[in-house]
Amino acid sequence: MKTIGNILHITASPRADASFSQNFSKRIVERLLARDPGAVVVRRDFGVIGLPHVDETYGHTLAGSWPMAADAYERPGSLAQSERLICELEAADAVVIGTPMHNYTVPSVLKAWIDHVLRAHRSFGFSPEGKVGLLADRPVYIAVASGGGYTGEGTLQPDFLTPYLEAVFRTIGIRDLHFFPLQRTVAGAEAVAEALRGVEALLDRKLPMPTLTPLPEPMPLAAA
């Protein structure tokens, strides 16, 4: 795994510090920092501060002629916001996302971020075979919390979140995705403890703690 200089940390839960997905995503960031202590973390807590959806200016610009006008990013509207978010993603050597599962898929605020960063001619292009990602691949670690179970035995609800995010990131050229499922978080303390044990074990497999090199034994003092 190459050295990580920049980490983009996105959270999408309205529950803030009470959020299972947010708290475990912090654990992932801590593990990355343990491996690369000099990394810079850019934090975007969209679950609390929100993120405006793309607007009319954005839509008209993308539907208009190409290339865009030279002053497109200077005009009022969400196109400049889209560019800032794409630049943040491009600058990140690793991305960490903490998100709940809302109604079988991503919450609307994470969907807003996706709508900003999936932009034709900027983060993806076109070929006769379909869309082509224009961003370099990088690891994306996604902590997903759900009140019920959506994978494994006894699953009672569908999972549209995982395949959707896989398709989203693949569209822009990112395929190195790692999911950490925190399931059945409303099923009581034991279910939560079991979920946490599972994702901690998964974290240890995917991002093991660095091995510290032992210090050399001190040289014996020479006799006077």
Return binding residues for FMN: 13, 19-21
φ/ψ of 213, rounded to 5, equals: -80, 125
Max Cα separation, the chain? 86
Nearest to 57 by CA among 71, 41, 43: 71
Q: Who contacts 180 (Cβ-Cβ below 8 Å, separation ≥6)?
A: 24, 28, 141, 142, 143, 144, 199, 202, 203
The burial class, CB within 10 Å (0-12 / 13-18 / 19+), for 133 is: middle
Q: How far is CA 183 from CA 72, 95, 107, 137, in A?
A: 43, 22, 16, 28
Name the binding residues. Answer: 13, 19-21
Q: What is the dihedral of CA 149, 154, 157, 160, to 10 degrees?
A: 70
- Omega prior to 67 cis, within 30 of 0: yes
Which pair of tokens denotes residue 152? 């494994």
Question: Which run of H or of E encompasses 179?
Answer: strand 177-182
